[in-house]
Amino acid sequence: MKTFSHHPMRRQPSSWLQKISASSPVTRRQVVGLGLSLMATALALLPSTSLPGAWAADVKGASKTLNIGFQKSSTLNLVRARGDLAKQLAKQGYSINWAEFTSGPPLLEALATGKVDIGETGDAPPVFAQSKGAQLVYIGQTQPNPEAVGLLVAADSQITNPSQLRGHRVAFAKGSSAHYFVVKLLASANLKLSDITPVYLQPPDARVAFESGKIEAWAIWDPFFAAAQKGTSGRLLSNGRGYTPYRGFILASKPFATDNPNAIAVVLKQLRASGDWALQNPQRTAEFLSEATKIPVEVLEVSERRRNGRYKVTPIQLDGIRDQQKVADLFEEVGLIPQKIQVSDIVYKSAK
């Protein structure tokens, strides 16, 4: 199996959040600058045999490696920082490589090609990956967070309902959960993607385009959503309520899941433990995420309140499978994937 190049991971302090001071507000320029720097980790820019920005948890005597892909604001980043997963897996002879991604699509591309073994994404990326024959399986899910995704327009925009998006430039990350949200929002107004001009941008570049007036609307998820609401003149046209459950999914490469069921169980257990901790410590969680993303604490507090369902991780369940089948059916109907797929075909059987 291909592995990441090894970069020593900084040792986490024993009280990992006590060291984090409340973040001071940052300027809009700093937020944009940070976002642009995150783009450096996009998979398209990476060599085929290694991932810059990966952290290796060296374990003396480890015979197996678990490669985990995460996004800065994901629960997996909390798991990484807490360190308990590394300790538990070390007992089973695993070391961990951690690699950061800007969004779900490049993360799942890495998973499909064997560079990542486990990762967490939104709803749309796994559907696109399955339609391309990717060897992956659903192992877990979160609860819905429909208010954690939204479509913004300029404060002075004449657009007041989805039907008025016709002919306008709408930005979102291609293949992301925002992609599905946009399709559903348009469908509610009897519109298709061909009725707008889709502009495929990752969150940092989309924010620059939105602020400069190069796009008329922007579909985005938290915490970038909350940051844009606080730091731009954007006006909310609609959040995801009534359009998308906006839940997260934990996925694994099929070969890894088949050969490493004990590791899968440990990862899900630690995701639940970290989620329970985050729900009990919202302020400290916001402080940690602020340190990780350089988004002000007060912004993270907003996004954390409306996406706390992401911390309620369970093995993949029937409701999650049904939600994903709706995504797949709609994408096939509108021609975003080439053929009908059955989500249940790639559900990790041991996780039921």
User: Taking the chain (352 residues) in consecutive chunks of 10 residues, what is each chunk's mean pLDDT?
Assistant: 35 33 36 36 31 43 86 89 93 95 91 95 94 96 96 96 97 94 96 97 95 97 93 94 96 95 96 94 89 88 89 96 96 94 93 47
pLDDT at 46: 33
What is the amino acid identity at position 201?
A: L
pLDDT at 41: 33
Q: DSSP state, 215?
A: -
**Token pair in block for residue 319:** 């409701």
Q: How far apart are CA 352 and CA 347, in angstroms?
A: 8
Question: Hey, which residues does 278 pair with through a beta bridge?
Answer: none
Q: How far apart are CA 149 and CA 246, in angstroms?
A: 7
Q: What proportions of the chain, in percent to the nearest 5, are helix, strand and coil?
A: 45, 15, 35
Cβ–Cβ under 8 Å, residues 152 and 217 = yes
pLDDT at 320: 97
DSSP β-ladder status, 314-315 and 197-200:
unpaired
pLDDT at 333: 92
pLDDT at 61: 53
- The enclosing H or E element of 237 equals strand 234-239
pLDDT in tens, 306-339: 888 999 999 999 999 999 999 999 999 999 999 9
Q: DSSP state, 4?
A: P
Cβ–Cβ under 8 Å, residues 181 and 246 = yes
CA separation (Å) from 206 to 44, 107, 160, 188, 315?
18, 19, 21, 24, 33
CATH numbers and ranges of domains, the chain: 28-145+247-351 (3.40.190.10), 147-239 (3.40.190.10)
**Token pair in block for residue 118:** 């486990």
**Token pair in block for residue 27:** 């300027």
pLDDT at 62: 59
Cβ–Cβ under 8 Å, residues 211 and 163 = no
pLDDT at 52: 33
44 CB-side CA count, 13 A: 5
346 exposed, middle or buried (CB, 10 Å; 0-12, 13-18, 19+)?
buried
DSSP β-ladder status, 149-154 and 136-141:
unpaired
**Token pair in block for residue 50:** 């290694």
pLDDT at 31: 36
Question: Hey, which residues does 98 pair with through a beta bridge?
Answer: 55, 68
pLDDT at 18: 35
pLDDT in tens, 109-149: 999 999 999 999 999 999 999 999 999 999 999 999 999 99
